[in-house]
Amino acid sequence: MASSKPRRVRKDVADAAAKKDTVPGSPGSGAPTLAEPTTPRSPLPPKGEQGTPAPMTPTGASTGLPPTANGQQGDYLTASNGARLRDTDHSLKAGRRGPTLLQDHHLREKITHFDHERIPERVVHARGTGAHGTFTGYGTADGVTRAGFLAKGKETPVFVRFSTVLGSRGSADTVRDTRGFATKFYTDEGTFDLVGNNIPVFFIQDAIKFPDIIHAAKPHPDREIPQAQSAHDTFWDFVSLHTEAQHHTIWNMSDRGIPRSYRTMEGFGVHTFRLVNAAGDTTLVKFHWKPKLGVHSLDWEEAQMLAGLDPDFHRRDLYDAIESGAFPEYELGLQLFPDMPDETFGDIDLLDPTKFVPEELAPVQLVGRLVLDRTPTNFFAETEQVAFHLGNLVPGIDVTNDPLLQGRLFSYGDTQLTRLAGPNFAQIPINRPHVPVNDMLRDGFHQQAVHGGVAPYHPNSLDGGNPFEAGDDEQAFLDVPVTVAEAPKIRANPVSFDDHFSQVRLFWRSMSPVEKEHIVRAYTFELAKCYEQTIKERQLQCLANVDPELCEQVATGLGLPVPKPTKELTEETPSPVLSQIGREWPSDGRTIGIVVDTDAPDAGLGDVRAAVFAAGMVPLLIAAHGGTVGDLPVQRTFATARSVEFDAIILTGAPAPAPDAIPARDAKAGAKANGKANGKANGKAKGKAIDPRVLLLVEESWRHAKAVVAWGAGAAVLEATGMVGSPGVLVADSGEAALAELQRLLPAHRVWERFPATIS
């Protein structure tokens, strides 16, 4: 019979067991498992000023908890119930060599939680990165909208998530793809989500086609390749059959498909929205984001190299810029159109999301400024759990009947039900409005609120009629009472939606010769990756309907016949603003690689580095080994530096190869062979061998049209590569002069004249 007395461990038995079983370093042995940490101390403070905003309850009231309240608190490791833990390194076993006990609740909790750490990634835009910031209104939109966050001087906290569309969460940043640019404005009138892309048009005109385009663009269902690419048969099969996709596709094939940085990328709301002012007057609008640093892209070879060398390139660039104080900035702009019954502007149907309105016809009016100045404290909690929704509108902004927009109004809330496991995703801290929430939504998975009252229905008398509906003059959101024409139910588009080619041609004609060449190369590359001949031919037919020269060049590259157009080639007026080339941009935040010879550092090195920094750029010293040169830190070594990271190179020396890097005999033979090939690129100048990694760095920079300047001993590198005299490759008299040359070259982003285009 079991004893009714509580069981006690006899001290003498416990002591004996401890003695027998104890090994140094095991719990209970008296010796710590590791030398440190053994003393409880406060958890790490949030990064700099980066504490998340104090958590709000779903009713908007602050919990009064410190900023990290949803993270770590207190000194001791605890279980999820708050009980302090003695040991988290060993499971509870029946003896040292015995089986693990089911009763080990800490083991089960730890592993169960881990087992469920992953949530489904977004079905599109899975790969992304986010940042916090502030939006400040200029007050210039007051006449057209009553949205309070656009008022003069009004500051609104925001969270932005940038993304690619096709790739999985772990895919590379620099793939050729559309980029998402989604902004959550936590306004005083509720949350407003502007969920845009870096391309102002979309693949399809009706939301019902979204699963089709995405199924076609995602990896093939049998082998699940290629990852994050459009260069495959199913993509080109769809876009060549469904020709309304051709406009978006040419933007993707242009340099816009491979942005240099999220900081040099435009954003577009794509659809036409409707603004309403205090008097109730309406205006149609298209939203634009204009980056302060201008629009700039990678070279295709750079993009491909980066996908392997630094798949996190855009993510890193964003964080580095913010953490170094070079805060990314964008201005919000509006293209405004009279709200006429036909919802067109000139002959452009404003409800067709495959069309844009050239800025020359409707200028972008700037209405506010966005500064991103804080990186997320926790990627999962913020960037991964943020849930955008086009239905998050504020008074003064309403939707139109764009059939793509209408479908999106459904999709964004719906997708979170699976991704964030239930209907209460708006209560997750990053999604919480910064105003009181007083909804009558109740219960559901992961409900965070403890709702009071007994009458979550309207009207009620039991809760005193609370909460009340807001009157028109109490900041209520009003649906604009747009007249809906009496019309038959029908599955069809407006006739104007049938024009699939005129704006593709407009875009092509707006490109500079070098950009046209890039587009030709992109189509040729992508189609050459397709296996099916009929798909290539069908896409060539589409290109024939865009422009004969484009079609001919791509067909030549593919070795296929050039088809004749089957549509009239309309005379489109170019929109010069679409070109990224030919304008000048600020050089802020650009990364300058400074090559240093540690054996003979130039005396002016420190001054140049300081001057680059003072000019608002990021100087990175590159040398044969880590450590310091004088008192300057070496930030990259020849082993870790690749040209793709830098916007320009300054050569302050001609470092010799490491003594044991290349056997002397081979170096000589190699130099001889190279010398024969091009006369100069023999890795030697004036008899001195140069580290081949430096030569590679400089040659790649040259191939990618980047400025390379040298002074002093650095000039020998340029001589060795045979580049002197090439546009944008310069030998200066001093460090100061070298920097001045760089500053002259950088505003154009690249030295485009180095490769004169052969296309007109």
By annotation, the residues acting in catalysis are 125, 197
Residue 408 near ligand HDE by CB under 6 A:
yes
128 contributes a contact to ligand HDE by CB under 6 A: yes
SS (H, E, C) 709-755: EEEHHHHHHHHHHCCCCCCCEEEECCHHHHHHHHHHHHHHCCCHHHC
CB of 133 to ligand HDE, least distance (A): 15
β-pairing, 329-338 with 282-291?
antiparallel
For residue 407, state whether it binds ligand HDE (rule: CB under 6 A): yes
Neighbour-count burial of 570, counting CB atoms closer than 10 A to its CB (0-12 exposed, 13-18 middle, 19+ buried) = exposed
Inter-residue contact 331 to 370 (CB < 8 Å): yes
Q: DSSP E strands: which ranges in 614-661?
A: 618-623, 628-629, 632-633, 636-637, 648-651
Q: How far apart are CA 283 and CA 398, in angstroms?
A: 10
Site string for ligand HDE, 317-356 (x = CB under 6 A): ------------------------------------x---
Stretch binding ligand HDE (CB under 6 A), from 22-30, 80-88, 192-200, 421-429: 192-200
Nearest distance, CB of residue 190 and ligand HDE, angstroms: 19
The residue among 388 and 585 lying less far from ligand HDE, judged by its C-beta, is 388
Q: Which stretch binds ligand HDE (CB under 6 A): 111-119, 193-201, 241-249, 374-382?
A: 193-201
161 is in an annotated binding site: yes
With binding defined as CB under 6 A, does residue 374 bind ligand HDE? no
Q: Among 78, 277, 378, 415, which residue interacts with ligand HDE (rule: CB under 6 A)?
A: 415
| Cβ 616 vs Cβ 652: under 8 Å | no
d(C-alpha 390, C-alpha 410), whole Å = 9
Of 156, 163, 174, 652, which one interacts with ligand HDE (CB under 6 A)?
A: 163
Give the residue, chosen from 133, 167, 190, 196, that forms a contact with ligand HDE under the rule CB under 6 A. Answer: 196
**For the chain, counts of helices (H) and of strands (E):** 18, 22
754: annotated binding-site residue?
no
Size of the site for ligand HDE (CB under 6 A): 26
**Interacting span for ligand HDE (CB under 6 A) from 191-199, 223-231, 291-299, 716-724:** 191-199
Q: Which stretch binds ligand HDE (CB under 6 A): 384-392, 427-435, 607-615, 648-656?
A: 384-392
CA distance 704 to 648: 10
Q: Check: CB of residue 387 under 8 Å from CB of residue 431.
A: yes
| Residue 274 annotated as binding site | no
Based on the shown chain and the rule CB under 6 A, indicate whether residue 171 belongs to the binding site for ligand HDE. Answer: no
Q: Tokens standing for 621? A: 């010293």
By CB under 6 A, residue 182 contacts ligand HDE: yes
Question: How much of the chain is in helix, strand and coil states, percent to nearest 5?
Answer: 30, 15, 55
Q: How far apart are CA 235 and CA 248, in angstroms?
A: 13
Q: Is 288 in the site for ligand HDE (CB under 6 A)?
A: no
Binding residue for ligand HDE, selected from 123, 241, 569, 632, defined by CB under 6 A: 123
Task: State which residue has the least CB distance to ligand HDE.
Answer: 180
Q: Does 167 bind ligand HDE (CB under 6 A)?
A: no
Q: With respect to ligand HDE, which residue has the nearer C-beta, 202 or 638?
A: 202
Contact segment (CB under 6 A) with ligand HDE among 195-203, 226-234, 257-265, 614-622 equals 195-203
User: One symbol per residue from 549 to 588: x for binding ligand HDE (CB under 6 A), - otherwise; what is it?
Assistant: ----------------------------------------
Report if residue 726 touches ligand HDE, rule: CB under 6 A. no
Distance between CA atoms of residues 550 and 555, nearest Å: 9
- Of 404, 662, 697, 748, the one binding ligand HDE by CB under 6 A: 404
Which one among 270, 624, 649, 739 touches ligand HDE, defined by CB under 6 A? Answer: 270
195 binds ligand HDE (CB under 6 A): yes
Cα separations in angstroms, 731 against 376, 651, 703, 714? 43, 9, 18, 8
Q: How far is the CB of 350 from ligand HDE (least distance, A)?
A: 14
What is the CA 612 to chain-centroid distance, rounded? 27
Q: Residues 56, 124, 239, 651: which binds ligand HDE (CB under 6 A)?
A: 124
How near is the Cβ of 200 to ligand HDE at its closest, in Å? 9
Q: Which of residues 480-509 bind ligand HDE (CB under 6 A)?
A: none
Of the two residues 250 and 622, which places its CB atom closer to ligand HDE in the complex? 250
Give me the least distance between CB of 750 and ligand HDE, in Å please.
28
> What's the closest the beta carbon of residue 443 comes to ligand HDE, in angstroms?
23
| Rg of the chain in Å (alpha carbons) | 31
Q: Which two tokens stand for residue 422?
A: 């239930």
Q: CB 662 → ligand HDE: shortest distance, Å?
A: 48
How many angstroms separate the Cα of 523 from the Cα of each of 295, 356, 552, 668?
21, 22, 12, 42
Q: Per CB under 6 A, does 238 bind ligand HDE?
A: no
- Check whether the bond before 467 is cis (ω within 30° of 0): yes
* Cβ distance to ligand HDE smaller for residue 209 or 706: 209
Question: Which residue from 381, 412, 441, 494 is in contact with ligand HDE, where contact means CB under 6 A?
Answer: 412
Question: How far is it, in rounded angstroms, from Cα 496 to Cα 349?
Answer: 7
**Helix/strand/coil (H/E/C) assignment for every residue in 654-706:** CCCCCCCCCCHHHHHHHHHHHHHHHCCCCCEECCEECCHHHHHHHHHHHHCCC
- The residue (of 333 and 353) whose beta carbon lies closer to ligand HDE is 353
| 593 close to 620: Cβ distance less than 8 angstroms | yes
H-assigned helices in 286-356 = 300-309, 313-323
Contact 579, 510 (CB under 8 A): yes
Which of 154, 122, 556 minimizes the C-alpha distance to 369? 154
Judge whether 86 is annotated as a binding position. no
With binding defined as CB under 6 A, does residue 122 bind ligand HDE? yes
Candidate list 185, 192, 202, 235; residue touching ligand HDE; CB under 6 A? 202
Spatial separation of the C-alpha atoms in residues 321 and 293, rounded to whole Å: 12
Nearer to ligand HDE, 431 or 643 (CB): 431
How far is 162 from 330, CA to CA, in rounded Å? 13
Residues of this chain that bind ligand HDE (CB under 6 A) = 122-125, 128, 161, 163, 180, 182, 195-197, 202, 207, 210, 270, 353, 386-388, 404, 407-408, 411-412, 415
Q: Which residues are annotated as a binding site?
A: 122, 161, 210, 408, 412, 419
Annotated binding site for heme: 122, 161, 210, 408, 412, 419
